[in-house]
A and B are shown apart, each in its own frame.
Chain A
C-alpha cells in the first residue's frame, strides 16, 4: 500500500515507530502529485525544496531522540490565501500573482512548530469568492472523483488535493461553506471550527466577521488531529478566543443520548431537484437513531433570511477588505494611467475577476450612504436574530443535522454564470458562519457515483460534540 493513501494518523504512528521516515512520507506524496496533478490542478505553487528540507529536519529530530510535534512529518496543503513567508501567496488572483509575503500566518507558524511540512499552496476561487473554484485566475481544479465535475469551492484545491491523496491533510478557509461544501463534493471530511478557535492572523480576509480557517482530511480523526495542531488563542488576532484550543480524546465516542435538532425550515424548503440526496439524508438519520440518538424537529424562524443576510454582510466586508489592493504598494499595477484615480480604477479593473468585482460592487452598494440602513445595518440586526435562534436551540440540543449542500457536485460551466443559483447552494452552510458556530461535513454516501456530505453543526466552542458525533457516525457507516 502506498504511504500516500494512508490516513494522517496512521502515517504519524508509523513514523514514530520508525517504520517509515518523514522523507518517505513526503516522497510518496510527491510521486502521487507527479502522477495526478496535471489532471487535478489542485495546486498553484508547490514548494518541493523546502518541503524536503523540512522532512529531513523531522527525521533528524527523530533520529536524535528529540520530541516531535503532533503533526510530525505530515505534508500539508495550504489554501493560497494563507500567508507563507517567502512563498508566493496569490489568493488565486492576477492582483497578487507575484505577491511574496514577508511573514507567516499564525497557522503556518503552528504547523511548522508542530513539525508539519508545508508542501504547497492550493487553488481556490479568487479571494475565496465562489463555490466551484472556477473563478481562479490559475485555471480549474478537477474533482478527483470525476474530472468533469467541479471540486466545489472556494477551497476546491485543498479538498481535491486531499481526495486525490496528494496530501493527507490541508487547510482551507470557510466564510459561508468554503471548507464544508468542497469537502462534501470531493468526499472528504471538512471541519469549520468556531469563529475565534483558529487564528485568522495572516489569512487574507474575504469577510472578516465570517472567515474561519478549516481543515480537510480523509477521516474525522485526521480532522481532529489537524484542529489540535492549529487551534489556540493568538494575541495577534483580536477576535481570537481565550477558549480556543481542544483538549479531549475520541475514545468512547458514541451517539447514545445525543440530542439532535432538525430545523423545520429546511424540511419545508423546496430545494431544486436532487430527491436522492434527501433519501440519503433520511438513511443517515436512521443510523443516528439506531445508535441511540434522539432526533426532534425545531424551528429556527430566521433561518429563511440567512442567504440574504449573508450576501449583504459578506459582500459589504469584501468591499472594504479588498480596498487595500489598490496597486500602490504591492500587487498588480496597470500601465494605463495618468491620474491617481485612473491608477486605482484600471489596476483593479484589470486585475480582479468578474465574481470579485460583482461582490465588491454589491458590498459597496450595501454600505453606501442612504442604502446602508436598509441593507447593511438591517442585515446586522437579522444576523443577531439568527444567532439568537441558534442559542435557543442549543439550550436543548447537542447538534443540528442537515445536508451540507442541497445539490450534487455539478459539471464545469454549468452554474458559474448564474450567480444567484450559485449563491442559493450555500443555504445550509452560511447560517453557521453568521452565528459563528462550528460545523463539519463528512461523507454519508453517494448519488450517481458522486459523494454527498452530511453537515453536523454545534454551538460555539462545542467542537467536541460535533467531532465525537462525526467520529461515531463514520465508524458505523464504514
Chain B
C-alpha cells in the first residue's frame, strides 16, 4: 500500500503577559464574567488599541525558539467577520506579513531526528467567550477579549498520529521553557486544529483536506488523527473521496463528525490595522531578546549529558520539562551524585507523576527534601525500602523527610549491641533454620532476615544484620 498521511497543525497559544495585548486590562484566566474589560477590549466606539511591548517580546521569543525569521517591520491587519464574541467586528491579526516566517522543530522518532517545518507564527488577539444556557439564552463574557495569542502553523510535514503527539509535546515543552505561556489545554491557553489528508503515490490519488477542531487534549489529537486517517484510507479504498470540510472531534463517541462544509476560502476582507503603526524591530532589540532567551530543551539535554554524565535517555527524560530539569539541578546541589539522583527521580518520582497525571512543580515536595531523603538512605540512616515509603509520605503530606522519619521512628538500627541482641533472639527461636542453613539451604538466611525485619519494623540495617547472621550462625 502506498498510502501516506499528511498532517498540518495550527496551534493557538495564549501568552501569559501581565496585560492584554492592546489595553491595560489584566490578562488573567478566570475571574467573574466581564470584570477584566475596558473601552478598548470591549470595542467601544472611539477606543484605540496600543501594542503591549511584552506581548510583542513574547511572540519574538517564540519565533527565535522555533528558528523562524523575524520580520523587521511588524504590521497588523484587521480580519473582518461578524460574531457575537468579537467586539469590534474584526480581529486584529496578521495576513500577508506574519511576525515570524518559517522555522522548524525537530522531533525524535524511532531513534531518528525528524524535522517538522513551520509555515509561520503570527500574532493576534483572542476573542470573548459565549455560554449557551439550557433555556436558549446566550451569554457573553469578554474577559478573554484582547488576550495576546500566537498562532503557529506547521507545514504538512507530520505523517502520523505519533509524530503529531511528539511534535506537540516538544512544542509545549519549548513554549514552557521560554516562559511565554502556561500552555494548559484544559484552560484553553493551548488550542490546536488539525488538517489532514491521505495520498496514494501509486495510484496518484489524494483525499481532500479535512480540518478537525474541538481537540481538548493531546490524546484526542492522536485519536482524531487515527480516526481520520482510517476514514480517508477507507474512502480511497472504495474509490471515493472526502469533502473539504471542518469536522469536530466527539470525545464520547470517539469519532469525528461534520461541523460545516468549506465552500472556497472564507473572505475575511483583510485591511491594514491603521490604528497600530508599523513597529520597527531593531537588530539590537532582537539581539537582546536572543541573549535573554533561556536554554532550550535540546541545548539543556546536551549539557546534562556532559555536565552530569547522564545517558542520552536519562538526559532526554530529565529535560522533558523545564521544571523537571530545574528540580534535578536543584536537588543535585545537595546530593552531588547524579546517577543516584536520576535513579530516584526517574524511578519513584516520575512513576508518581505519571500515576497522578501531574507536573513536578505541582507535587508538594522540594528538591532539598528529596535530596535529604536520598542522603539519609545513602548514609544508612534509613534503608532503601523505608526511603521509598518515606518519599510516598512526603508527597502525600508535604512533610519533610526528617519529620516523617522522626515521628514514625524509622531511623535504621545500626547499633551493634542492639542488633546482636535481636540476632541472638531470632536464632534462638529458629533452630530449624540454623539446621537448614548448615545443610546448604542458603535461603534460610533470607527467612531469618525477614524475621528480624518484622521484629524491627524494617528498621534494621540490612548489611549489618546479614554480616552478623553469617558470623553467629557459624558459631552455633
Residues of chain A touching chain B, judged by Cβ–Cβ distance below 8 Å, are 81-83, 89, 91, 96, 99, 101-103, 105, 200-205, 208-209, 235-239, 316-317, 319-320, 322-326, 328-330, 340, 344, 364, 367-369, 372, 376, 380
Interface size class, chain B: 20 to 34
* Complex interface: chain A residues within 8 A of B267 (CB): 368-369
A367-B48 contact given A102-B39, A323-B88, CB 8 Å threshold:
no
CA distance A30 to B89 in the complex (A): 40
Are B82 and A204 within 8 A (Cβ)?
Answer: no
Chain A residue, CB-CB nearest to B82: A344
Closest 7 CB pairs of A and B: A323-B89, A209-B274, A367-B269, A204-B45, A202-B46, A369-B267, A324-B89
CB of B49 within 8 Å of the partner chain? yes
The smallest C-beta distance from B310 to any residue of chain A, in angstroms, reads: 50
On whether the beta carbons of A317 and B274 are closer than 8 Å, the reply is yes
Check B82–A323 contact: CB distance below 8 A.
Answer: yes
**Bound CA–CA A89/B44 (angstroms):** 12
Contact status of A239 and B45, CB under 8 A, knowing A102-B39, A323-B82: no
- Please state if A236 and B84 are interface contacts (CB–CB under 8 Å): no
| Cβ-based interface call for B51 (8 A) | yes
Interface residues of B in 74-112 (CB under 8 A from A): 78, 80, 82, 84, 87-90
Q: Which of A201, A239, A372, A376 contacts B47 (CB 8 A)?
A: A201
Neighbouring B residues of A204 by C-beta, 8 Å: 45-46
Please determine whether B276 and A238 come into contact, CB atoms closer than 8 angstroms.
yes
User: A238 and B78 in contact (CB under 8 A), knowing A202-B46, A317-B271, A367-B269?
Assistant: no
A116 to B217, CA, bound (A): 58
B95 to chain A, nearest CB (A): 10
Closest Cβ–Cβ distance, residue B137 to chain A (whole Å)? 14
Chain A residue at smallest Cβ distance from B142: A329
Q: Given A323-B89, A340-B84, A238 and B48 touching (CB < 8 A)? A: yes
Residue from B46, B51, B80 within 8 A of A323 (CB atoms): B80
Which residues of chain B are near A325, meaning CB under 8 Å? 45, 89
Q: List 19 A-B contacts (CB under 8 A).
A: A83-B46, A102-B44, A103-B44, A200-B48, A201-B47, A205-B275, A208-B275, A237-B50, A238-B48, A238-B51, A320-B90, A323-B80, A323-B82, A324-B43, A325-B89, A326-B82, A330-B44, A364-B269, A367-B80
Determine the residue in chain B with the shortest Cβ distance to A204.
B45
B89 → chain A, closest Cβ, in Å?
A: 2
Nearest-neighbor residue (CB-CB) of B23 within chain A: A236
Q: Which of A202, A238, A320 contacts B89 (CB 8 A)?
A: A320
Interface residues of B in 197-239 (CB under 8 A from A): none
In the complex, B338 has a CB within 8 A of chain A: no
Determine if B15 is an interface residue (Cβ-Cβ < 8 Å). no
Given known pairs A323-B82, A340-B84, the reply for A369 and B269 (CB within 8 Å) is: yes
Q: Which residues of B contact A (CB under 8 A)?
A: 39, 42-51, 78, 80, 82, 84, 87-90, 140, 265, 267, 269-272, 274-277
Q: Is the pair A96, B269 in contact by a Cβ cutoff of 8 Å?
A: no
Q: Is the CB of B50 within 8 A of A209?
A: no
In whole Å, how far is A137's beta carbon from the nearest beta carbon of chain B? 15
Question: Is B265 within 8 A of A101, CB to CB?
Answer: no
Is there contact, CB below 8 Å, between A320 and B80? yes
Q: How far is the CA of A201 from the CA of B274 in the complex (A)?
A: 13
Q: How far is the CB of B40 from chain A (nearest CB, A)?
A: 8
CB distance from A74 to the nearest CB of B (A): 23
Determine if A239 and B277 form an interchain contact, defined as CB atoms under 8 angstroms apart.
Answer: yes
| Additional A-B contact list (8), CB under 8 Å, known A202-B46, A319-B269, A329-B87 | A83-B44, A99-B45, A101-B39, A200-B48, A238-B276, A367-B80, A367-B270, A369-B269
B269 with A238: CB separation less than 8 A: no
Do the beta carbons of B265 and A324 come within 8 Å of each other?
Answer: no
CB distance from A362 to the nearest CB of B (A): 13
Chain A neighbourhood of B39, CB < 8 A: 101-103
For A91, list chain B residues within 8 Å (CB): 45
Cβ A238 vs Cβ B90 within 8 A: no
CB distance A324 to B49 under 8 Å?
no
CB distance from B276 to the nearest CB of A (A): 5
Q: Give the residues in chain A near B88, CB-CB below 8 Å.
A: 323-324
List, in ascending order, chain B residues with CB within 8 A of A372's CB: 269-270
Interface centre among A91, A205, A324 (most CB of B within 10 A): A324
- A contact residues around B80 at 8 Å (CB): 319-320, 323, 367
Name the distance in Å between A383's Cβ and chain B's nearest Cβ. Answer: 11
Whether the pair A238, B46 counts as a contact (CB closer than 8 A) is no
Q: Is the CB of B272 within 8 A of A238?
A: no
- Residues on A with C-beta less than 8 A from B87 are 324, 329
Which residues from A are CB-within-8-Å of B45? 81, 83, 89, 91, 96, 99, 101, 204-205, 324-325
**A364: chain B residues within 8 A (beta carbon):** 269
In the bound complex, what is the Cα–Cα distance between A99 and B45 (angstroms)?
10
Across the interface, do A236 and B50 meet the contact criterion of CB distance under 8 Å?
yes
Q: Which residues of the partner chain B approach A316 to less than 8 Å between Cβ atoms?
A: 271
> In the complex, A91 Cα to B276 Cα: how many Å?
24
Check A205–B89 contact: CB distance below 8 A: no
Question: A19 CA to B225 CA in the complex, in Å?
Answer: 83
Q: B279: nearest residue on chain A (CB-CB)?
A: A238
Report how far A203 CA is from B275 CA in the complex, Å.
12
**Other-chain residue from B42, B50, B269, B277 in contact with A320 (beta carbon distance below 8 A):** B269
A209 to B89, CA, bound (A): 18
Q: How far is the CA of A322 from the CA of B271 in the complex (A)?
A: 14
Please name all residues of chain A whose beta carbon is closer than 8 Å to the beta carbon of B275 when the two chains form the complex: 205, 208, 238-239
- Taken together as a complex, chains A and B put the C-alpha atoms of A91 and B275 apart, in Å, by 20
**Nearest CB in chain A: distance from B260 CB, A:** 14
A-chain residues with CB within 8 Å of residue B43 when the two chains form the complex:
324, 329
Question: A328 contacts which of B84, B90, B274 (Cβ < 8 Å)?
Answer: B84
Most A CB within 10 A of own CB, among B42, B44, B269: B269
Alpha-carbon distance A81/B88, docked complex (angstroms) = 17
Would you give the shortest CB distance from B87 to chain A, in whole angstroms? Answer: 7
Bound together, the chains give a CA A328 to CA B277 distance in angstroms of 29
**Shortest Cβ gap from A378 to chain B (Å):** 14
Nearest CB of chain B from residue A382's CB, rounded to whole Å? 15
A320 touches B271 (CB 8 A): yes
When C-beta atoms are compared, the residue in chain A nearest to B50 turns out to be A238
